[in-house]
Amino acid sequence: MFLALDQVSVTYPGAIAKPAVRAASFALPAGDIGVLIGPSGCGKTTLLRVIAGLEQLAHGRIAIGDETLADAPRGIHLAPEARRIGMVFQDYALFPHLSVERNVGFGLAHLARDARSQRVQEVLDLVGLADAAQRAPHQLSGGQQQRVALARALAPGPRLLLLDEPFSNLDVELRERLAQELRTILKASATTALFVTHDQQEAFAVGDRIGVMREGRLLQWDDAYALYHRPACRFVAEFIGHGVFAPARIVAAAGGPVVRTALGDLTDAAECPLPDAYPDGCCDLLLRADDIVHDDASPVRARIERKAFQGARFIYTLRLASGERVLAQVPSHHDHAIGEWIGIRPEVDHVVTFARDAA
């Protein structure tokens, strides 16, 4: 493993409340892009800052390859400038009075003039701004400025790049495109990176590995497929994707376990827990919007309460006669009116269940 965090905790000086990061462990292979996602205040920035060396560890250990960057029990704390880690922040923080070229060359003072301008040109090429070297930051769009900031961070060849919500000041369409571009640029330069966002689409577009954080804890560190289809806990299940929990009962049958729900029985599901996984088989089943199919031939009917247009599809909020609420993702040419009853059918490939919520 390349970057490895082991039981990392951070407590801000004077903070009487809980630590800002609590016992976070994860590993990121060289060349991979990791993403940290979670609600505001969950500790994402703090985790980046402690990796950069800008905060002290209260517990745990951080290493890159064989080199220990910080080790709380042994009192090791490598200075930020000795870590060879680059950072890109939300505000581009370019020097307004310096040209793009000088901004990007800022961390390269140790290089001879020719070597410096060659490296600057190289990274400007990489971010697609080869022609902008002589411009001033204010002559560039927000997206271009953020790419200059990226070029500046890449120029000294950091062994790890940390990016803290770099696109959150930009508008949505631009963000989606930049997220794709960022991935291409990082892969082209074989840069290992850790990217913080609160936007799921961005996390999925950029990350090889995604970590979901809540209240200082890293709840799950996995690839996007596993996060979506095998969420480790309720919070992750609700945080990633659209869905609801429905009461269900897992019972034994000749052909294997069957999941009884208000929408009918689910059979043949992959990765289904056994009936004795829960008391009496009773559990809460995660039903994602893409687990529910619109099918007028189905005997299960539900009334449309709400609909959200998402371009190629709608997310319908539906209510069954039994009172249960589900979400359904349907192609947007299936345009039904609110209040209408439609037929639905569950099509669940991955059965995700949790112990029934007491609340």
Distance CA 18, CA 29 (A): 30
Distance CA 48, CA 54 (A): 9
**Size of residue set near Mg ion by CB under 5 A:** 1
CB 263 within 8 A of CB 322: no
Nearer to Mg ion, 45 or 317 (CB): 45
Distance CA 20, CA 48 (A): 12
At its nearest, how many Å lie between ligand ADP and the CB of residue 313?
A: 30
At its nearest, how many Å lie between ligand ADP and the CB of residue 238?
A: 18
Please report, for residues 20, 196, 204, 251, 307, the alpha-carbon distance to residue 237 in angstroms, rounded to integers and kept in the order given.
23, 19, 15, 23, 21
Q: Binds 123, which of Mg ion, ligand ADP, none (CB < 5 to 8 A, cut-off by type)?
A: none
| Contact flags string 181-220 toward Mg ion, x per CB under 5 A | ----------------------------------------
- Region class of 296: left (phi > 0), else alpha (psi between -120 and 50), else beta: alpha
DSSP for 188-246, please give it. HTT--EEEEES-HHHHHHH-SEEEEEETTEEEEEE-HHHHHHS-SSHHHHHHSSSEEEE
Nearer to ligand ADP, 42 or 148 (CB): 42
At its nearest, how many Å lie between ligand ADP and the CB of residue 43?
A: 4
At its nearest, how many Å lie between ligand ADP and the CB of residue 12?
A: 3
At its nearest, how many Å lie between Mg ion and the CB of residue 88?
A: 13
Q: Is the dihedral of CA 76, 1, 180, 352 positive or negative?
A: negative
Q: Residue 86 pairs with which residues in a beta bridge?
A: 161
Q: Binds 46, which of ligand ADP, Mg ion, none (CB < 5 to 8 A, cut-off by type)?
A: ligand ADP
Q: Is 146 in the site for Mg ion (CB under 5 A)?
A: no
Q: Binds 12, which of Mg ion, ligand ADP, none (CB < 5 to 8 A, cut-off by type)?
A: ligand ADP
Two structure tokens written together for 125: 């090429």
Contact positions vs ligand ADP (CB under 6 A): 12, 15, 20, 38, 40-46
Q: Residue 37 pairs with which residues in a beta bridge?
A: 197, 212
At its nearest, how many Å lie between ligand ADP and the CB of residue 176?
A: 22
Nearer to Mg ion, 5 or 42 (CB): 42
Nearer to ligand ADP, 56 or 298 (CB): 56
Q: Which residue is nearest to Mg ion (CB)?
A: 45
Q: Binds 103, which of ligand ADP, Mg ion, none (CB < 5 to 8 A, cut-off by type)?
A: none
Distance CA 12, CA 4 (A): 22
Q: Is 45 in the site for Mg ion (CB under 5 A)?
A: yes
Interacting residue ranges for Mg ion, rule: CB under 5 A = 45
